[in-house]
């Protein structure tokens, strides 16, 4: 039985390492510069990396964390991986000598969205990840470190908040309150327990904050600012700023200045660098001159697909039509077969994209009401015209030639579109366009192919 692969590439340890070493997103140089930026701060900076949903923010921060681990000689990364990671970026010699510089912690805010006190899960993640990532020589320090983390969690828990009431009723309430207020000092001590020779900075990456409930988002930001103020600790938030501002306004109201509010927490905002699509297409196996690959790349550009969208879309196209498209189309003999080749190489990738990106446009397109997406696909003269020329018959030409009937690109596309999607309305039988024939079953064939429910589909790709 064939097993279908997951359309979305998840940030597993293997995928993070592989995509970094192959520079799939073309961001390795950006990762290096961001690492150097973090190294340059000598205070508790907080940075927001802004990018649309699905643009690859999570992979970017995991790649930065990978480089941080590689550059820290006390991390648990094996030497072979360490050398390979460092070899993929051209680090300055002065930076290479500082192999005990930083350690990284990853916190998925969305996974902890149900917590009443966000700082609890954050402290837990910091303690657990640092104890694992720093090598085993620091045994006694780890025990004290984890014990102190436990004390902090206990002090922050609901149980101890309730105890504040009991404190006020005690014989010496001010002394008891003083003990409760020592939480800030304990958190400061918590970070100071990380030996400087093992890491002189801790970089905490907060991901998916813009997807959280408003109350959780605000409490996490406020608690970080209130409780953690240590020059050795830095925060990197990977967020969609627009969505985060909407989240803040949901809590405080539409008239609230959420942009200035966020300035309280972010020392610097940077935009996520764009992906290198050429590297990505090669990685996905779509870098060739096959017709379907040319069309797929063009569609990704037209709809400005983000990394996650491209991953899903390209995987769907490959599954739907790869087996039949990556062969010599000249072997097709019958006109109906040639018509199916055109549908598979051009129409099916377009249908899949429209269904993913815009349901309304998809419905209009497949119901014969809007051929604009097909026109847009061929709007650039140097793009895809080779494919159209293949479907001209001997009497037609796209240019002025003697003994030839000139047919414009738009006229040809209109004919093809109507022959496929309006066949049952305008034509009684099959329609010949060049060497291709389209009948009243061609539309159904196109939709079934786009659904990956034909013999053309290959679920193992």
Residue 186 confidence (pLDDT): 72
**pLDDT of 230:** 82
Q: What is the rounded distance in angstroms from the CA atom of residue 59 to the CA atom of residue 25? A: 9
Residue 341 confidence (pLDDT): 85
Separation of alpha carbons 25 and 241, rounded Å: 22
For the chain, residues with pLDDT lower than 50 are: 1-2, 134, 136, 138-139, 158-161, 164, 168
- Does residue 189 fall inside a structural domain? no
pLDDT of residue 164: 47
> What gap in Å lies between CA 440 and CA 438, rounded to an integer?
7
Assess whether 320 and 431 both reside in one domain: yes
Which pLDDT value is given to residue 268? 95
pLDDT, position 253:
93
What pLDDT, on a 0 to 100 scale, did the predictor assign at position 407?
Answer: 72
pLDDT value of position 364:
97
What pLDDT score does 181 carry?
A: 55
Q: Please give the tally of structural domains in the chain.
A: 2
Q: Residue 49: its pLDDT value, please?
A: 97
* Domain of 53, in residue numbers: 13-130+199-271
pLDDT at position 104: 93
Does residue 66 lie in a domain region? yes
Q: Does 262 lie in the same domain as 117?
A: yes
Same domain? 286 vs 242: no
Residues 266 and 307 in one domain: no
Tell me the CATH number at 121: 3.40.50
Q: Which two tokens mark 421?
A: 């999607």
> Does any domain span residue 457?
no
Q: With a threshold of 0.75, does the pTM exceed it?
A: yes
Pair 332, 212 in one domain: no
**Which of 271, 295, 314 is at the close of a domain?**
271
């Amino acid at each position: 039985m064939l097993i279908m692969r997951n359309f979305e590439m998840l940030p597993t340890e293997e995928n993070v390492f592989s995509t970094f070493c192959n520079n799939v997103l073309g961001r390795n140089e950006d990762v290096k510069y961001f690492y150097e930026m973090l190294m340059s701060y000598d205070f508790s900076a907080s940075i927001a990396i802004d990018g649309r949903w699905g643009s690859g923010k999570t992979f970017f921060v995991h790649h930065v964390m990978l480089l941080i681990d590689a550059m820290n000689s006390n991390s648990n990364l094996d030497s072979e991986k360490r050398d390979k990671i460092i070899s993929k970026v051209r680090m300055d010699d002065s930076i290479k000598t500082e192999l005990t510089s930083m350690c990284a912690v990853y916190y998925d805010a969305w996974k902890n969205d149900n917590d009443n006190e966000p700082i609890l899960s954050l402290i837990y993640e910091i303690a657990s990840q640092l104890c694992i990532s720093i090598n085993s020589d620091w045994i006694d320090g780890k025990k004290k470190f984890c014990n102190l983390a436990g004390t902090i969690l206990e002090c922050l828990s609901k149980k101890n908040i309730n105890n504040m009431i009991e404190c006020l009723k005690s014989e010496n309430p001010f002394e008891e309150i003083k003990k409760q207020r020592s939480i800030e000092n304990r958190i400061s001590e918590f970070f100071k327990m990380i030996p400087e020779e093992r890491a002189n900075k801790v970089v905490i990456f907060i991901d998916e904050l813009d997807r959280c409930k408003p109350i959780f988002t605000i409490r996490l930001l406020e608690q970080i600012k209130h409780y953690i103020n240590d020059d050795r600790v830095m925060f990197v938030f990977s967020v969609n700023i627009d969505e985060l501002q909407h989240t803040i306004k949901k809590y405080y109201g539409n008239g609230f200045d959420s942009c200035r509010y966020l300035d309280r927490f972010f020392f610097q905002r940077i935009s996520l660098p764009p992906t290198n699509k050429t590297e990505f297409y090669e990685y996905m196996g779509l870098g060739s001159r096959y017709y379907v690959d040319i069309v797929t790349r063009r569609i990704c550009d037209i709809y400005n697909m983000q990394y996650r969208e491209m991953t899903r879309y390209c995987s769907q196209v490959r599954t739907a039509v790869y087996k039949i498209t990556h062969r010599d189309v000249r072997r097709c003999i019958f006109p109906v077969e040639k018509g199916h080749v055109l549908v598979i190489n051009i129409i099916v990738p377009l249908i899949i994209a429209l269904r993913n990106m815009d349901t309304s446009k998809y419905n209009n397109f497949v119901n014969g009401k809007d051929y604009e997406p097909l026109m847009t696909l061929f709007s650039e003269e140097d793009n895809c015209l080779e494919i159209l020329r293949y479907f001209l018959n001997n009497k037609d030409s796209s240019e002025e030639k003697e003994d030839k009937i000139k047919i414009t690109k738009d006229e040809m596309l209109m004919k093809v579109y109507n022959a496929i999607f309006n066949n049952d309305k305008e034509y009684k039988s099959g329609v010949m366009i060049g060497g291709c024939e389209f009948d009243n079953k061609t539309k159904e064939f196109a939709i079934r192919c786009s659904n990956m429910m034909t013999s053309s589909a290959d679920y193992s790709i």
